[in-house]
């Protein structure tokens, strides 16, 4: 874990990059004993504690069950005490509250803790988006209210800029999942005003050279490419695929099956060369 520690130390001053690195490392190490052993060896290292807690959370998500919610929460609270300016422990607690299906008052309290430290935190925005959806503890109307509020105050280059388009892709996926005639006509959803506006905004700005530039920019470009192909806007998708340069994000491609296979099929549909 020494290399992981050095990597995270280097990004300590960049909250966006640090949170992104923690999320990726937690996912990659979710089945590894390394993070837990590091936290046990360094119980007063906030980074070790939060990475261990986040890896446990990712393991719970992949297995569909929480094994020790109290341990995750304890590590996060200790990390928050040791590094009070760090939003990451609160991001993990927010994710934990979703798995525990906590009430909105508690979840919004955790959301406020994150945004007080990092107003445009991408992980927290996407976590709240899913929590407020009908698949978890909210409704489509609550998602719309949340997205409207985020859109009204968020700069175009903020790390959470993909919140609106993510909501549209989630809704598109829910239509596909229902199957039948509705799924066959799902592509027409992208011509509806709210979906078209979200896609237009992203396509007009994200495909510019050097934009977006936040830590998870490639993940957001994967989202944009997926949406453009789904909307049959293939000419616009080509430069996005070129900007991605073969870096495949698991989501949203995993919705259709193997992410790499789905990415390659979509890239071929856009007419982009390999």
Instruction: State how far the alpha carbon of 211 is from the alpha carbons of 72, 122, 163, 182, in Å.
Output: 36, 16, 16, 35
Instruction: State how far the alpha carbon of 31 is from the alpha carbons of 60, 76, 80, 85, 100, in Å.
Output: 10, 19, 24, 28, 21
In whole angstroms, what is the distance from residue 133 CA to residue 167 CA?
9
**Predicted local confidence at residue 4, as pLDDT:** 86
In whole angstroms, what is the distance from residue 191 CA to residue 199 CA?
10
Average pLDDT over residues 120-132: 98
Buried b (16+ CB within 10 A) or exposed e, 13-51: eebbbbbbbbbebbbebbeeeebbebbeeeeebbbbbbb
**Predicted local confidence at residue 207, as pLDDT:** 74
What is the average pLDDT score of the chain? Answer: 94
Fold of 1-118: 1.25.40
Dump pLDDT digits (tens) for 154-177: 998 999 999 999 999 999 999 999
The H helix count followed by the E strand count for the chain is: 16, 0
User: 62 or 273: whose pLDDT is higher?
Assistant: 62
Considering only 76-90, 174-188, 232-246, which range has the smallest mean pLDDT?
174-188
Sequence-separated (6 or more) residues with CB below 8 Å from residue 114: 87, 90, 91, 94, 121, 124
pLDDT at 14 over 90: no
User: 263 or 185: whose pLDDT is higher?
Assistant: 263
pTM of the model: 0.94
Dump pLDDT digits (tens) for 62-77: 999 998 999 999 999 9
For tokens 């859109």, what's the residue?
A: 151
Domain limits of the chain? 1-118, 162-274
**Predicted local confidence at residue 3, as pLDDT:** 84
**Predicted local confidence at residue 274, as pLDDT:** 59
**Predicted local confidence at residue 270, as pLDDT:** 93
pLDDT at 273 over 70: no
**Predicted local confidence at residue 161, as pLDDT:** 95
- pLDDT tier at 15 (50, 70, 90 boundaries)? confident
pLDDT at 211 over 80: no
In whole angstroms, what is the distance from residue 196 CA to residue 199 CA?
5
- pLDDT tier at 6 (50, 70, 90 boundaries)? confident
**Predicted local confidence at residue 254, as pLDDT:** 95
**Predicted local confidence at residue 264, as pLDDT:** 97
């Amino acid at each position: 874990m020494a290399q992981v520690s050095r990597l995270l130390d280097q990004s300590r001053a960049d909250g966006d990059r640090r949170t992104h690195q923690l999320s990726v490392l937690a996912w990659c190490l979710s089945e590894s004993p390394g993070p837990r052993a590091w936290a046990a060896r360094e119980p007063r290292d906030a980074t070790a504690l939060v990475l261990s807690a986040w890896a446990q959370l990712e393991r719970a998500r992949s297995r569909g069950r929480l094994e020790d919610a109290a341990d995750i929460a304890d590590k996060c609270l200790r990390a928050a005490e040791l590094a009070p300016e760090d939003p990451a422990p609160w991001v993990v607690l927010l994710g934990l509250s979703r798995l525990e299906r906590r009430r909105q008052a508690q979840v919004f309290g955790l959301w406020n803790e994150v945004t007080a430290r990092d107003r445009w935190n991408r992980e927290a925005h996407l976590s709240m988006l899913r929590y407020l959806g009908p698949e978890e503890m909210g409704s489509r109307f609550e998602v719309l209210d949340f997205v409207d509020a985020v859109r009204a105050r968020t700069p175009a280059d903020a790390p959470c800029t993909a919140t609106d388009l993510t909501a549209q892709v989630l809704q598109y996926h829910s239509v596909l999942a229902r199957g039948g005639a509705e799924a066959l006509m799902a592509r027409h959803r992208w011509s509806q005003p709210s979906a078209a506006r979200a896609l237009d905004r992203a396509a007009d700005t994200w495909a510019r050279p050097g934009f977006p530039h936040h830590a998870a920019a490639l993940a957001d470009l994967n989202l944009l490419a997926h949406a453009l192909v789904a909307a049959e806007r293939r000419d616009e998708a080509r430069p996005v695929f070129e900007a991605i340069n073969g870096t495949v994000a698991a989501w949203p491609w995993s919705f259709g099956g193997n992410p790499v296979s789905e990415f390659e099929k979509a890239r071929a549909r856009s007419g982009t060369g390999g």
